[in-house]
């Protein structure tokens, strides 16, 4: 009955034809595509910027460096922000929080989503129905809506934002995992493992999981893309861990009133978030193409 829904939820059309190719060879194929390479360079570059940036910041992100919204000078290379803080330093500090939270939220969603999806596909009984209807409940909210309801109740705590974003990622991953695992559950080697009395947990982990790694890797990059957008977006709406924290989303919100006079406080973080999400998006598309066997052996793409 949920055949229809599963097809539509699968994010990339290409992954519909995903077969159970070995994940290692999929990754190798993906790396032959230019889009994967460019994406990887972007992701690694921005991760480096976000991780190592604070060590190169000329000022502390909250130090007073000049009059508010002043133009670039030798003291502040990219000018100052709405409180007179150094834009460059805040920019170098501003990616860390987003990236750490997005990675944690994605990991949470992927791990639990894969477990739920595998259990549902393997059980083939009432458990399948109960689990997937439970997923439907979470899917009834847009991702940002659920995060906002949680924040309205408890406040913008970092663990809460990670939990809310991870929780809304979960059902989306579970659907893809279940869809990918269902044809595998029906195959002979699963039945023979059952006949041999292999414990259920080993069937899930050793027989099913390795066969759905490719769609799962596509999900990792896709969900990471959305998690980064969501967490930066929540900061942009004013719901970051601290109201004056150095965070790319917060920076955009704080400095956009004077974007015409002093654009750097907005332009730098906008470009950084854009390049980061484009990078994770490109990597995901590359893996998805390699998994579907598209462009195999071709170096263009």
Which residues form the interface with other proteins (CB under 8 A)? 1, 3-5, 7-8, 12-14, 16, 35, 133, 136-137, 139-145, 148-154, 225, 228-230, 232-233, 236-239, 249, 252, 256, 259-260, 263, 266-267, 270, 273-274, 277-278, 280-282, 285
Would you say 52 or 261 has its CB closer to other proteins?
261
Question: Cβ 11 to other proteins, closest distance in Å?
Answer: 8
Would you say 149 or 191 has its CB closer to other proteins?
149
Dihedral sign (CA 55, 57, 59, 64): negative
Would you say 266 or 291 has its CB closer to other proteins?
266
- How far is residue 50's CA from residue 82's CA, in Å, rounded to a whole number? 22
Question: Cβ 3 to other proteins, closest distance in Å?
Answer: 6
Question: Cβ 209 to other proteins, closest distance in Å?
Answer: 27
Would you say 68 or 134 has its CB closer to other proteins?
134
- How far is residue 185's CA from residue 190's CA, in Å, rounded to a whole number? 6
Element holding 200 (H helix, E strand): helix 200-202
Place of tokens 């967490």: 231
Quote the tokens at residue 34.
């230019």
CB 240 within 8 A of CB 61: no
| Beta strand spans in the chain (E) | none
- How far is residue 252's CA from residue 259's CA, in Å, rounded to a whole number? 9
Question: Cβ 191 to other proteins, closest distance in Å?
Answer: 19
Would you say 260 or 299 has its CB closer to other proteins?
260
């Amino acid at each position: 009955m949920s055949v229809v829904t599963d097809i539509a939820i699968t994010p990339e059309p290409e992954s519909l034809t995903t077969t159970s190719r070995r994940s290692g060879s999929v990754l190798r194929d993906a790396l032959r595509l230019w889009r994967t390479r460019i994406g990887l360079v972007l992701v690694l570059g921005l991760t480096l910027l976000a991780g190592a940036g604070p060590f190169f910041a000329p000022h502390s992100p909250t130090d007073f460096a000049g009059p508010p919204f002043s133009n670039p000078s030798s003291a502040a290379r990219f000018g100052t922000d709405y409180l007179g803080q150094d834009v460059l330093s805040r920019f170098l500090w501003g990616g860390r929080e987003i990236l750490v939270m997005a990675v944690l939220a994605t990991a949470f969603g992927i791990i639990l989503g894969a477990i739920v999806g595998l259990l549902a596909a393997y059980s083939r009984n009432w458990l399948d129905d109960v689990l997937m209807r439970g997923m439907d409940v979470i899917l009834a909210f847009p991702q940002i809506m659920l995060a906002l309801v949680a924040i309205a109740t408890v406040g913008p705590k970092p663990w809460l934002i990670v939990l809310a974003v991870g929780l809304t990622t979960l059902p989306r991953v579970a659907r893809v995992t279940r869809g990918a695992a269902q044809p595998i559950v029906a195959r002979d080697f699963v039945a023979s493992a059952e006949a041999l009395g292999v414990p259920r947990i080993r069937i899930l982990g050793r027989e099913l999981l390795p066969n759905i790694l490719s769609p799962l890797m596509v999900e990792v990059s896709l969900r990471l893309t959305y998690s980064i957008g969501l967490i930066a977006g929540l900061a942009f709406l004013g719901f970051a861990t601290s109201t004056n924290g150095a965070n790319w989303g917060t920076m955009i919100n704080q400095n956009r009133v004077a974007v015409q006079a002093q654009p750097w406080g907005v332009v730098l973080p906008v470009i950084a978030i854009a390049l980061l999400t484009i990078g994770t998006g490109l990597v995901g598309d590359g893996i998805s193409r390699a998994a579907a066997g598209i462009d195999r052996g071709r170096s263009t793409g």
